[in-house]
Structure 1
Amino acid sequence: MKKKLGSSAFAGALLLTVIAAGCSAPNEPAAMKDATPDSPSAATNAAKDATKTIKLEMVENGWFNTPTDAGNPWQQWIKDTFNIELTMNAMPMADMETKLLVRFASTEQPDLIFSWDRNLIKKLHKQGVLLDDWTPYLSKLPNVTKTWNDQMKAFATVEDKLIALPKLADAFTWTLMLRKDWLDALQLSVPTTDAELLEVLRKFTHEDPDQNGKDDTWGISSAGSGSDVGEINVLESMYGQSGFHVGADGKMQHSIVNGTHLKFLKFMRTVVEEKLIDPDWYTQGWEQRKPKLFGGKVGTVHYPGVIVQESEKANGATGSAVDWWEAIQIPKGAEHGGKRPPAPIAGGMLAVSAQAAKDPEKMERILNFIDSTVYPTEGYWSIRWGVGVNGQKVIDLDDGAKFISLKDDPYRKDMMGLYDWGTWVATSQDRVLEGQSDSPGAADKKQLELDGKAMAMASYTNYHELLNLDPQITSDLKKLTQEFDIKFILGKETDYEAFKQKWLKAGGQQLMDEAARQLKDIGMLN
């Protein structure tokens, strides 16, 4: 994986009261003679043989999802440290649900499941194939729970049951990145309003910002993959918060209903009509867009600070692209606009199968393994970065940041699937920069600078990740919105009011009412 940077706190992001390490004793039932086999009291009282090897299988969403060989040092470290033979099956999100449903229909069920998709964990839990409630086990997970806040616990709770363990989210380092060298060449200031941004996009497109004498640049780009507007939807935040949220008036709102979405669509229509955007913005995927972006043809994009590293790599790592980018706050286009979208609440969910939980000895070993490898334990640095596993060393930088060199990594350079051994604990809040040199260079320092600026920017409160809304209605409304958005932007649709009423009747009003009820129940709506 290329450079990862995080922070232990988000300036301006919503992080609520941190749960004290080690939940209080009442969360764990007292040991009883008739304790059920899958209860923590049974696990506590069961005779343990620490010399016995426990076999576990984890199914997870990985970054690379490629197999490793028998020389996997992470697998050996886990066995040496915990006496666990861990089998890892890493797979993309698109494949996970189908494969898990097949596995849970068989007698060969996985023990641990990590997914970035909260809805998948909810679906599996509803089917009864996962541990019903983690709450009684929390006193055995002090390192895990001390990283939580109230939102994280609410995120993983369904009908008063903690259905999985939420993972600490990555540091929120995404924001608008502008070509600073283009601004300087055209003697432009950083835009702070939607009108100023529009003017910058015009000049980036039409006034030869790279001074090559060719008409070959665009003000902005996106990667819609032929299904939606892509990450350029961040510009809706110029006018207010997107989706379901509590408005300044304390009432339940949605951006489609209160006009925020319409303002964004009108802005996008202007951008497309004036041809200020990469012409492939709607059809291209994330990777397909990179040659133009890092080839110096695009002036604005929504990205984290790693854009510096990727730009440098694409340009021969000569230092020529180090000073291309500047991180800016979302410009303001309305009274309540001008903040970044909400920071994520969690970085995924870790669950255990109901079958594994019925084995007291296996469950006890699972709890120890999980709690001993979560950030910021010593085990985290081993399983995530290879400290004590493959010879990796951590270099301390200023302000708590760290640097790890992969220059002499004997394993992951040639076997990228080894990165998936740690996906379920990984968080860029560890503030690690990863590089190919012996020490951080100019690009690393620039990334630190840009990520630091992004983290200091104001963000909206995250409401939508706390909601448990009807998945079918949600999916139908998403499809309805995607179809209307592109037609409106391209000038093929003009009646926004008709779309809004259709959205409300298709389930939008029902979801707004349900969202209001749920947020009121957890004290986030009066």
Structure 2
Amino acid sequence: MRRKASMVLAAALALTTVLSGCGNGSEAEANQTYDPNAKLNFTWLNILHTASPPTDVVKNKLEQYTNSEIQFSWVPDASKEERITTALASGQLADMVTITMMTNSTVRNSLKSGLFWDVGPYLDSYDNLKQIPQNVREAASIEGHLYGVPFQKNLARSGLILRKDWLDNLGLKVPTTLDELYNVARAFTEDDPDGNGKDDTVGFGDRSDLRYSSFKTLSSYFGTPNGWAVDDSGTFTPEFDTPQYMDTLNYSRKLYENGYLTRDFAVTAKTDQQQQFAQGRTGIYTGMVDIASLENMSQGLQKGMELVPVNKISNGDGQYHIWSEGSGVGGLLAFPKSEVKSEAELKRLLQFVDDLLDKEAFMYMTGGIEGEHYEIDADGSFKIINQDKWQADVQPFAASRPSEVTYKLKDSNPRKEMANELIKENDKFAVLDPTVPLDSQTNNEQGTELQKVITDATFRYIMGEIDEAGFKQAVQSWKDAGGTKITEEYEAAYKVVQNK
């Protein structure tokens, strides 16, 4: 195990005592300094994305590598909003807290209130943390302050998955424009792509999630801004008040009217959308990251299924755009001042996070133990060799990696590897949301409810229940109910950041 920051920290802190706990001791303990080479004992309030917490197999390896003893408090993803906000309100936190709900009003207000350490001034003292790109730091900041180590994600993961075998059956090529994509949706619906002689297929499968359904991705292809547009004068315009958003509405409405988009999309859950695709009822799916899962789900249901990921669709001008979720930020590893009482404790915890960014720790959290959970094939491909054991020992840690992009693993599944490459390519034309590092108190308080006005109007327009005038009326209602104030607050916050 390497201790990259040890000498720097030792010189800076004049360290004299041994770390025995983090943030839970007396005032005298809070004034102590700690040797970065000594064992770290700390608590971690973390999000659990699997059905059960992990075994101790990988935890033990991580503790050995980082010279630490970790006490996890796992919060199920499904209840994270309630549990995390309750913990923030009550002050019952851990030394390190995983925060993924960056738009939640309670979270943002807690961050802004000074409850957590601003780690921005410290990152450049560590070999790995100093590699976090400046644009990621800015995107993870609130009004210029970085209240935790950013979880680094791909800039833009969105794209389409198409039935390549259906394309081949119909003599069609992989689409590169919105017009070509529309024709594929038509052909997948009307031209019997599976050759069974039945009218039982639809082009686009979709679900009741405006952000992660086809609409947001199609909107990118039309050149719609991501969330908000900001011009050179600092004037902000919400995405749904732009011509490109209306173009997307009309495109989606035409798909729906002609039956090329599933009729029940507005009440369809993601798992049902996946099942429709796996059963051969739909031929276009939004979400390149799910390609391997869809293949696995289709086993025993579809013979000869061949899939192809697609990331570049233009509106005909040869230019590509794709929306970025969080501008490459998946949340923060934050350190509450109520638990981490001294700068020395903070630096020791930051060293732990820095160690997690080492390749060896990354591999523990990604694959587990080589030869036991995974193997590297002769061509350098990464392959899970014991799926059940990997799910029990390793999978819960995958979402806890401080970075998903620092190291590249070649997937043994060629379609998944192709999707991974296209996701990486998306960085070149990812469209960022300019409000990610900004703050609007009105949006914190009312944004979720106000967005429902737009979401409802969008679905109703696609399904032909309202016309353009009705949609514009909904936009005006959004403005009158608080949207105009949100716009003004973002503009003011933007000017503050620009002038710093």
C-alpha distance in structure 2 between counterparts of 1:410 and 1:289, whole Å: 25
Query: How far 1:357 sits from its partner (Å)?
Result: 1.6
2:451 match: secondary structure: helix
Hey, what does 2:161 align to over in structure 1?
A: 177
* 1:117-266 matches, cutoff 5 A: 117-120=101-104, 121-131=107-117, 133-146=118-131, 148-170=132-154, 172-224=156-208, 230-242=213-225, 243-246=227-230, 252-266=236-250
Select 1:385's aligned residue among 367, 375, 391: 367
Hey, what does 2:291 align to over in structure 1?
A: 307
1:479 aligns with 2:441: no
Hey, what does 2:334 align to over in structure 1?
A: 351
Query: How far 1:307 sits from its partner (Å)?
Result: 0.8
- Gap change, CA 1:229 and 1:310, over 3 Å in 2: closer
1:492 match: secondary structure: coil
> AA paired with 2:350?
L
* 1:495-506 matches, cutoff 5 A: 495=469, 496-506=471-481
C-alpha distance in structure 2 between counterparts of 1:478 and 1:236, whole Å: 17
C-alpha distance in structure 2 between counterparts of 1:235 and 1:282, whole Å: 16
* 1:108-123 matches, cutoff 5 A: 109-120=93-104, 121-123=107-109
Query: How far 1:277 sits from its partner (Å)?
Result: 1.5
CA contact 1:67–1:417 (8 Å) conserved in 2 = no
C-alpha distance in structure 1 between counterparts of 2:420 and 2:78, whole Å: 30
Q: Which runs of 5+ in 2 are unaligned?
A: 16-21, 24-28
C-alpha distance in structure 2 between counterparts of 1:371 and 1:76, whole Å: 18
- Gap change, CA 1:396 and 1:229, over 3 Å in 2: closer
CA contact 2:49–2:399 (8 Å) conserved in 1 = no
1:425 aligns with 2:402: yes
Hey, what does 2:418 align to over in structure 1?
A: 449
- Gap change, CA 1:388 and 1:107, over 3 Å in 2: farther
- Gap change, CA 1:406 and 1:32, over 3 Å in 2: closer
C-alpha distance in structure 2 between counterparts of 1:395 and 1:43, whole Å: 49
C-alpha distance in structure 2 between counterparts of 1:49 and 1:255, whole Å: 48
1:339 aligns with 2:321: yes
TM-score by length of 2: 0.81
Query: How far 1:394 sits from its partner (Å)?
Result: 4.2
How many residues are paired up? 474
- Gap change, CA 1:309 and 1:94, over 3 Å in 2: closer
- Gap change, CA 1:265 and 1:248, over 3 Å in 2: farther
> AA paired with 2:44?
M
* 1:394-405 matches, cutoff 5 A: 394-395=376-377, 397=379, 403-405=381-383
Q: Which runs of 5+ in 1 are unaligned?
A: 1-20, 435-439
Query: How far 1:167 sits from its partner (Å)?
Result: 1.6
CA contact 1:305–1:451 (8 Å) conserved in 2 = yes
Hey, what does 2:33 align to over in structure 1?
A: 46
C-alpha distance in structure 2 between counterparts of 1:363 and 1:229, whole Å: 36
C-alpha distance in structure 1 between counterparts of 2:399 and 2:247, whole Å: 42
Select 1:463's aligned residue among 434, 459, 470: 434
- Gap change, CA 1:197 and 1:411, over 3 Å in 2: closer
Query: How far 1:451 sits from its partner (Å)?
Result: 3.2
TM-score by length of 1: 0.78
What is the CA deviation profile of residues 185-205 of structure 1, one whole-angstrom value per residue up to 9, with x for unaligned ones?
Answer: 222233344333322211110
- Gap change, CA 1:267 and 1:175, over 3 Å in 2: same
Select 1:368's aligned residue among 351, 355, 361: 351
Hey, what does 1:282 align to over in structure 2?
A: 266
> AA paired with 1:467?
L
C-alpha distance in structure 2 between counterparts of 1:152 and 1:325, whole Å: 30
> AA paired with 2:204?
I
C-alpha distance in structure 2 between counterparts of 1:49 and 1:337, whole Å: 50
Query: How far 1:170 sits from its partner (Å)?
Result: 3.0
Query: How far 1:68 sits from its partner (Å)?
Result: 3.6
Identity of matched residues, %: 19
Hey, what does 2:79 align to over in structure 1?
A: 95
- Gap change, CA 1:377 and 1:229, over 3 Å in 2: closer
C-alpha distance in structure 2 between counterparts of 1:102 and 1:473, whole Å: 19
Query: How far 1:281 sits from its partner (Å)?
Result: 1.4
C-alpha distance in structure 2 between counterparts of 1:410 and 1:75, whole Å: 17
C-alpha distance in structure 2 between counterparts of 1:176 and 1:450, whole Å: 10
Query: How far 1:369 sits from its partner (Å)?
Result: 1.1
CA contact 1:244–1:254 (8 Å) conserved in 2 = yes
Query: How far 1:455 sits from its partner (Å)?
Result: 3.4
What is the CA deviation profile of residues 136-165 of structure 1, one whole-angstrom value per residue up to 9, with x for unaligned ones?
Answer: 43244331121x222211123223322111
Query: How far 1:353 sits from its partner (Å)?
Result: 1.8
C-alpha distance in structure 2 between counterparts of 1:123 and 1:338, whole Å: 36
Hey, what does 1:14 align to over in structure 2?
A: none
C-alpha distance in structure 2 between counterparts of 1:28 and 1:348, whole Å: 30
CA contact 2:291–2:419 (8 Å) conserved in 1 = no
> AA paired with 1:430?
Y
What is the CA deviation profile of residues 330-362 of structure 1, one whole-angstrom value per residue up to 9, with x for unaligned ones?
Answer: 3316x6975222363212211012123215664
C-alpha distance in structure 2 between counterparts of 1:459 and 1:50, whole Å: 41
- Gap change, CA 1:99 and 1:305, over 3 Å in 2: closer
CA contact 2:53–2:396 (8 Å) conserved in 1 = no
Hey, what does 2:19 align to over in structure 1?
A: none
Hey, what does 1:516 align to over in structure 2?
A: 491
- Gap change, CA 1:139 and 1:456, over 3 Å in 2: closer
- Gap change, CA 1:139 and 1:193, over 3 Å in 2: closer
In terms of fraction of residues, the more helix-rich structure is 2
- Gap change, CA 1:472 and 1:43, over 3 Å in 2: closer
Hey, what does 1:491 align to over in structure 2?
A: 464
2:313 match: secondary structure: coil
1:452 match: secondary structure: helix
